[in-house]
Amino acid sequence: MDQDIKISVNNLYKVFGTNIKQAMKMLDEGHEKEHIHEKTGATVGVQSAGFDIRTGEIFVIMGLSGSGKSTMVRMLNRLIEPTSGQVLIDGEDITAMSDDQLVKMRRKKMSMVFQSFALMPHLTVLQNAAFGLELDGADKKAREERALEALDQVGLAPYAQSFPKELSGGMQQRVGLARGLAVDPDILLMDEAFSALDPLIRTEMQDELLKLQAKVKRTVVFISHDLDEAMRIGDRIAIMEGGRVVQVGTPEEILQNPADDYVRAFFRGVDPTNILTAGDIATDSQVTIIATDGKNPRAALQRLIKNDREYGYVIDSERKYLGLVSADGLRDLIDQSDREPRLTDAYIKEVVPAPATASMQDILPEVAAHPSALPIIDENGKYLGAISKNLFLKTLHRNQPEETADTDQAAIEGV
Amino acid sequence: MKFFTFEEQLIPLDSWIQTFVTWLVMNYRDFFQGIKIPIELSLQGLEWFFTTLPPVVIILLFTVAAWRFGGKRVALFTVLSFFLVGYLGLWRDTMITISMVISSVFFCALIGIPLGIMSGRSDRFQTFLRPCLDAMQTVPSFVYLVPVVMLFSIGTVSGILATIVFALPPIVRLTSLGIRQVHPELIEAALAFGATSGQVLRKVQVPLAMPSIMAGLNQTLMMALSMVVIAALIGAGGLGNPVVQGLNSLQIGLASIGGLAIVLLAMVLDRITQGMANR
């Protein structure tokens, strides 16, 4: 087993209702969940879910309401008992744990942050933050010390003696976060933790989480229905639909290569310019000119004419980016110079290569400013490819409903 | 057909019950007398406390409580009420009634809160308990006065037992309601942090049900006070006595001052306990 895997979900099912056996049998036979509900009255919450969550990553489980994401996260700490399948945490199957083991695991290894905050109204902020430690039997002094530290991390130490109802929503959720952090868990389960907050506070809390994550790498399982949020904080995303996990991948992977129409529809409204980097979209389809000693402007011009291109990207034998030349520029250089022209004189100085890590948003001005495609280099200065206006627009367009016609067709056939 | 004319009694339930109670009395009287002991002890203690302390001290105690939990007006009302009751010549009866009511409420809480918690946590138990509570509240108390007397003989303790039967339901119901009203997310949160079932109860459900439990206690207290007269019918002492005596001998005045004292006492105790519940 891979050491880096913190949580491993294998073939997990949850069926709610009374006719569970029959429903499971029908699922095996490949019936749809709607059909099963009609026949047996049982509701399929999660079916054949499987994925691995790596140590220290923020893993976002995303889906619309009813997709089973809340059920899924509650099966990770067995607040909801799975119908079948395995949840391995550090290689231990929690579905096979006794009540005592389960309580111990919940106290030591994981904590949870809730959408509705779920703070105890009869306890002060400090007592709330210390709640997990209190359950574990820590003595008052030790637990309040740790709770105060946790409150300090989220900037709420001055409010330790207040009651939750005296705080704003954002502050209450900070207390919820502090309660989760105070027990120093390996795993933090966050169930739509920021969804009840207004957008500004939500972003602030996301930053807070990323900041905390930068200090201590915990494994965070974050449930969200908000794609922007998922993209912003997620190292990897699992997309759920109708109880199934339809795709798992990094935001870029999913955005670039959606598994099906559902995922694509999800990403339709998303602005890709903040998510995709120059390195993600650059293609090596431009003409490259390798500047060896023998190459002179004439040979470069020949190559451009032969390929019917206006611009050429000059690289060395190790693919290190040197400069950009245009056919016109080369012609002028050859015509004007009295001595042997050098390729370096033809470089177009205005075009500065962009790093692969720059977002689409960042490179937009440069792409727009020059008729040539913008060269993209990696951190070692190696040429990765270029981004033309055309390519840029195409990337934007890919997230628009390009297959409307197809889905309409399917809908008609379905009728 | 005798099955459709209803002219004769086909089910002699009355004689069955009669036989059953007689059998109980014959065989288990000792057991029922044993039940009386804790009630008797607590009552004696309370009675001793309220009748030996000088009235001024008692009034002071109640006034301080009224001030703390109810404020100035309640405190003033308490002082006036106690003085009036004293001047009406009902001081001793009032003290006995207070002792009776407090020990009834104590035992109601002792039995009722655990029952309420169980019924709050288990639907099955609630389904079973509900008709019992309905019966306790609606069966006229005169119906069970006779068996109570047969099993426990007459006296103040029997009066308290009858009072407990009548006053128990509200504390059970409101405790159960309070437990059920705890937001499920809070219970889920406690479980997620590794709470055991007992910890959920002690650290979440009971503290959050407290206002409801206190309201139940207040209701139970009021119902216990309303049983004072009926308890007097089976020989309990206290403010029920002047009322019963007045009724028996058509002394309307005597019955009225007894009634007035009960009402004043009820108002004082209600305001104080409501103040406690709202804190």
Q: Which of A98-112, A354-368, B50-64, B67-81 has the lowest mean pLDDT?
A: A354-368
B167-186 residues touching A, CB cutoff 8 A: 183, 185-186
- A52/B contact by beta carbon, under 8 A: no
DSSP secondary structure code for residue A149 in this structure: H
Dihedral (CA of A59, A63, A68, A69) sign: positive
Q: Do B193 and A189 touch (CB under 8 A)?
A: no
| Interface contact flag, A77 B192, Cβ < 8 Å | yes
Render pLDDT for A179-197 as a digit per residue (tens, 0 to 9). 999 999 999 999 999 988 8
Q: Round to whole Å and give the CA distance between A206 and B261.
A: 65
Q: Where does residue A292 rank: exposed (0-12), middle (13-18), buried (19+ CB within 10 A)?
A: exposed
Distance CA A264, CA A243 (A): 18
Handedness of CA A161, A164, A168, A171 (dihedral sign): positive
Q: How far apart are the first and last CA of chain A?
A: 47
Which of A110, A114, A122 minimises the CB distance to B185? A114
DSSP 8-state symbol, A343 = G
Question: Mean pLDDT over all residues of chain B?
Answer: 92
A352-389: b or e for each residue (b if 16 or more CB lie within 10 Å)? ebbbbebebeebeebbeeeebbbbbbeeeeebbbbbbe
**d(Cα A320, Cα B101) in Å, to the nearest integer?**
95
Mean of pLDDT values over A84-99? 93
Q: A185 touching B, CB under 8 A? A: no
Is residue B186 within 8 Å of residue B124, measured between CB atoms? no
Enclosing H/E stretch for A322:
strand A321-326
Q: Do A183 and B203 touch (CB under 8 A)?
A: no
What is the pLDDT averaged over residues B177-195?
95
Cα A145 vs. chain centroid, distance in angstroms?
35
Tell me the per-residue pLDDT of A385-404, one tens digit each, with 9 for 90 and over: 898 888 888 877 765 544 44
pLDDT band for position A270 (cuts 50, 70, 90): low
Q: Is A384 in contact with A282 (CB distance < 8 Å)?
A: yes
Which CATH fold topology does B23-50+92-246 show?
A: MetI-like fold (1.10.3720)
Q: Is A112 near chain B, with CB under 8 Å?
A: yes
How far is the alpha carbon of B62 from chain A, nearest alpha carbon, in Å? 29
- Under DSSP, the state recorded for A346 is G
The pLDDT of residue A2 is: 53
Q: Specify the range with the lowest mean pLDDT, choosing from A85-94, A241-250, A325-334, B167-176.
A: A325-334
**Tens digits of per-residue pLDDT, A362-378?**
888 888 888 888 999 98
pLDDT confidence tier of residue B30, bands split at 50, 70 and 90: confident
The pLDDT score that the predictor gives to residue B150 is: 86
Pick from A208-212, A221-225, A275-279, B199-203: least confident: A275-279
Distance CA A315, CA A292 (A): 9
Q: In this predicted structure, which of A126-130, A354-358, B1-5, B175-179 has the lowest mean pLDDT?
A: B1-5
Say if residues A167 and A90 touch (Cβ distance below 8 Å).
no
**HSE, side-chain direction, 13 A CA sphere, residue B237:** 12
The residues facing A110 across adjacent strands are A187
Q: First CA to last CA across chain B, in angstroms? A: 66
Encoded amino acid at A309, one letter: R
Contacts of residue A103, defined as CB under 8 A and 6 or more positions apart, other chains included, come to: B194, B195, B196
Q: What's residue A349's pLDDT?
A: 83
B177 with B119: CB under 8 angstroms?
A: no
**Nearest-CA neighbor of B270 among B228, B212, B216, B219?**
B219
Distance between CA atoms of residues A325 and A347, nearest Å: 5
Whole-model pTM over 0.80: no
Q: What is the radius of gyration, based on Cα positions, of chain B?
A: 22
DSSP A353: P
Tell me the chain B residues in contact with residue A108 when contact means C-beta distances shorter than 8 Å: 194
Q: For chain B, give the percent of residues with pLDDT over 90.
A: 77
**ipTM attached to this prediction:** 0.80
Indicate the pLDDT class of residue A412, thresholds 50, 70 and 90.
very low
Tens of pLDDT along A15-56?
Answer: 998 888 888 988 888 888 888 888 888 889 999 999 999 999
How many residues are recorded in chain A?
Answer: 415
Does the pLDDT value for residue B67 go beyond 90? yes
The pairing of beta strand A383-387 with beta strand A374-377: antiparallel
Average pLDDT, chain A: 86
Task: Pick B124 or B141 by higher pLDDT.
Answer: B124
**A117-146 CB burial, b ≥16 within 10 A, e <16:** bbbbebbbbbbbbbbbbbbbebeeeebbeb
| pLDDT at A293 (0 to 100) | 54
